[in-house]
Amino acid sequence: MNLYETLERYGFVNEDDSVRVWDLPTAKVMELYDSLYGELRSHQYDGIDGPKSRFSFVASANMRAAIGCQQPFCVRQKLEFLAHYASLYCDLVFLPLPLFGSRGGGVAEKQASLERAICSLGVLRPVIEGGLVRPVTMTTSHCRHMLPFIKDTKRFVDAVVNDLQSDTMDEFQAVYQHPEASPTGQPTVYVDGPEDLIEHGGLVGLYSKAPFWVSKSWSYDSEGKRAVPRRKLRCIYRINEIFDRIASDTTFHLAFGSPFRARYLTNQRGEASVLEWLTGDEELVAANEAVEKLLSHVIPVIGDLSLRGVVALRKKEPDAFARYRDALTKITDEFLKDRKRITKKDAAEIYHDYIESEVRRIQQAITSKRKSAAKQFVAGAAGLFASVAIGAFALPVAQPVIDVVKTGGAMLLGHAARECLGHSDERANDFYFLLRLSHAAARH
């Protein structure tokens, strides 16, 4: 029985059904948890001895919506972003799900893990069934020779992350609100911190009762709030959770992702900080900073074409997809080449002077040849240029992620488009795959 047959047998047809896990009796919760865990574990290491792709990734906690804002809209937006990125650029993305087998905790913990897992599996179903995303458990297997090394790695990563937390605690602030004044009627803590570590720069934590670090002698303002003393910030679970997740994600990536030569895929610098430190490569850090400043992290939907449509077109036109991705990779490499340090002002000027001007040239070239596809093509080209940069922000282990193109004359966006559009054979166009996406979207 496959993954989705198992879910449907328990009444979970799509991601919206995930909240129903809280209505299941305890026995059903345990059965479903064990079934999902067993199904994923049975395929966890499939292909480990086969060829490795440079377009394989392990999705970070932020990318897979396992941390940060948990509003349903934000969660879905992140997962859809990951799905579109996988369909438009990757060969395989590993999706760690919060399933730990016998270490999964009690019933409530397993229900929470199942809710997240079912939601993720529902949103990502087209790319999972298309073989572009593989859900895995947050557990690994190692022989007796490797196990001591993995344990040492975990201790080392934990120590590095602990230092990271100590170095950044001055950037955090927290305010506690007593339950009588809280909008939810529960004790609440509001945390502000660096956006490199906290999505939107802030988060909210709810408690069933006043946490232990709240003093009975505290006085509150008219809104029932009180600033949390700095010495107590490290007692706040929601702050500690950020660093605990970085540590566990980094360790899992090193233990599981490395044998697959999969890079760490994130659009949040804080998540990559430990791996950046481990690489010890200044150019890598500089390139990541450039990507962060220059390019947005929004992948547009190509017209109204569904994810299944993109996956189907990839399978139908594998050679066209390979040429298109290679062209985008060269464009990204060329764009970042020789730009070691840039300011935000530099980034804005480069974007307007370079990217937008090249996109306008593409628009002029395509308009003359394919008026019906021009609008979709330009929107897709601009968005895909941004999306491919996430690949540059994905960190490998012990080597720079930005490889300088060895062959001379790496393509620039406008030059590549003008050269390719001049060919009489449409299929020779490096952007033929993108054109096909636009045409397919126009028909829907």
Residue 57: what pLDDT? 86
Least confident of 168-172, 214-218, 323-327: 323-327
Residue 332: what pLDDT? 55
Looking at per-residue confidence, does 27 or 278 come out higher? 27
% of the chain exceeding 90 in pLDDT? 33
Q: Average of pLDDT values for 117-128? A: 95
Q: How confident is the model at residue 155 (pLDDT cuts 50, 70, 90)?
A: confident
Task: Give dist(CA 329, CA 336) in Å, integer.
Answer: 11
Looking at per-residue confidence, does 387 or 247 come out higher? 247
Task: Give dist(CA 268, CA 198) in Å, integer.
Answer: 9
- For the cut 80, the answer to whether the pLDDT of residue 300 exceeds it is no
pLDDT tens digits along 342-360: 455 655 555 555 545 544 4
Helices 432-443 and 307-316: crossing angle, nearest 10°? 140
Q: How confident is the model at residue 20 (pLDDT cuts 50, 70, 90)?
A: very high
- For the cut 60, the answer to whether the pLDDT of residue 439 exceeds it is no
Judge whether 133 and 96 are in contact, CB under 8 Å.
Answer: no
pLDDT tens digits along 45-89: 999 988 888 788 889 888 898 887 778 888 888 898 888 878 877
Residue 351: what pLDDT? 52
Identity of the highest mean pLDDT range in 26-35, 195-204, 264-273, 293-302: 26-35
Residue 355: what pLDDT? 46
Residue 232: what pLDDT? 95
Q: How confident is the model at residue 389 (pLDDT cuts 50, 70, 90)?
A: very low
Residue 263: what pLDDT? 82
> What rounded mean pLDDT belongs to the chain?
74
Looking at per-residue confidence, does 37 or 393 come out higher? 37
- For the cut 90, the answer to whether the pLDDT of residue 384 exceeds it is no
Q: Average of pLDDT values for 404-421? A: 29
Q: Average of pLDDT values for 135-144? A: 88
Q: Average of pLDDT values for 102-111? A: 88
